[in-house]
Structure 1
Amino acid sequence: MNHRILFGSYPIPRFAGIVSHNFVVWTDDTGRPLYEINGGAAHADGSFNYCALRGPLTAVVTDYAKRDLVYCPEFYVRPTSRTIVLMEGNVSSIAARWRTAVDVAERIRLSKLRYSFLVQNSNSVATAIAEGMGLKPPSAAVGRVKAPGSHRHLVLDAA
């Protein structure tokens, strides 16, 4: 197996699993996660707000070699998470796309956009990350009910 970029979806139990949190993950040739990007809101101290209703919109890059759940969430390893392969290739081709994803995540963090549960949220971040890499988010993981905000195109300054 090659390295992969996956589009993940985690059904949120609080909403009976109907609404999902989308994210993007890079796995190695054994399927082990190396990095993950999640969108959401940040607390004032910069930690990830798992139960956000408002706050600054952020995109967090999790390095699985340096785990810190307060600042860097991990959804790929949750048993109910589902993933779809966006791209498969050798490590250098995946790393090149991932560098682009990290750049988009930085632009989102610096954008001063506000988190909104139904409009600008983890799902719009995941869509922006995938599209920023030149990949199309899977139709099975997006939708106005299933993944509110997934159709929202974030307005970001050029890099």
Structure 2
Amino acid sequence: MTAPELTVARVDQSDPRAQPLLAELAVEYSSRYGGTADEMYADLVAYPAAEFAPPDGALVVIARGDEVVAGGAFRRLDPETAELKRIWTSAAHRRRGLARRVLVELEREIAELGYQRVHLTTGWRQPEAVALYLAAGYTALYDPSVPAEEIGPHPFEKRIGATR
């Protein structure tokens, strides 16, 4: 029996399909940065859901059959810039290129909306994310020779799309 194909869906933050993404991110952030998973979850849902919805943003999930395995979101930072947020792959499905697939899907939607630039920050205790963004063509907006803990959040950018 072959595994079900991957499907991509745009969802609202309150959609049940977004909950695995938010819940597991909360646990991940808590384990890496301290605080409780409940505190981290509250921080994640504190952003207004409308920021991650059309016409200026999106939240996408990738599923294999009925199981959500990866996802991410973007919102408008300014008229030319989209900000990536909540890039996630289920712990049970990592190292399979799913985070890269999420980036491709988000970048496609960002370009379709006419943004020229993508901005994001990732945490200093997330070297896997740093490696992903560098491999995907993002430019580090920090000095990589400085120890990660001293930098704090690691900002990145990538030029994308056409003139808005």
TM over 0.5: no
Q: TM-score, normalised by structure 2?
A: 0.29
Q: Which has the higher helix share?
A: 2
